[in-house]
Chains A and B, each alone.
Chain A
């Protein structure tokens, strides 16, 4: 069945550092790929999505490109802020990755 593998956390970065969170997937068909973010005590929010190969999703400085050849959808941000501290989930339809906790320090 469809599945997502996500890099383990936690990830701790200094403010303004570059962020990459790796995500690879296994899927049949042509699913959309998603990154969701969960802040403490809250539900999940859509961060970005991509619907087909080579699409780039972007939002709030975060980007991810749907790469069919490497079955990947890595999340990147050029300069993280303390307010980006949260748990990030890569997802494919109803399959979620294990989540990566990001902590950004001053």
Chain B
């Protein structure tokens, strides 16, 4: 099984809402990632978890809060977002966090903030 799943597929939220994005993998990977991708742009790294510990936080605003409850699950909690946060949010996983490891991406959650 080389699949990374993400739910929901689409999400529309107001600026005062609280919502969560969920990502799951069952490949035994120990590194998981959140990326933000705007239209016609490359993915921008947001967070990296390695062995369930936050390894990299790319100066992401605190209205985005990641959580890694176990080695298979990664959540992204959203609160008080702005319209400019509308984007495709991609989750990925890899065997380890390293220079040589292939990342496996989920299909993404398309987020619209009204």
Contacts and interface: CB of A to CB of B under 8 A. Distances in A.
A42 B45 contact: no
A99 B42 CA distance: 6
Contacts of A98: 41-42
Q: Give the residue among A31, A42, A45 with the most B Cβ atoms within 10 A.
A: A42
A65 B90 CA distance: 28
Nearest to A31: B99
Q: How large is the interface on A (under 10, 10 to 19, 20 to 34, 35 or more residues)?
A: 20 to 34
Interface residues of B, number: 23
The B interface, classified by DSSP as helix, strand, loop or mixed, is loop
Contacts of B33: 94
A74 B75 CA distance: 35
A4 B24 CA distance: 29
B107 A42 contact: yes
Contact of B105 (A30, A32, A44, A99): A44
Given A30-B99, A43-B107, A44-B105, A97 B90 contact: no
Contacts of B107: 42-43
Contacts of A30: 99
Nearest to A90: B42
Nearest to B6: A43
B78 to A, nearest CB: 19
A54 to B, nearest CB: 16
A42 B43 contact: no
Nearest to B102: A46
Nearest to B2: A46
Interface of A: 29-32, 34, 36, 42-46, 49, 51, 89, 93-94, 96-99, 101
The 6 closest A-B pairs by CB, nearest first: A43-B105, A31-B99, A96-B42, A32-B100, A44-B105, A43-B107
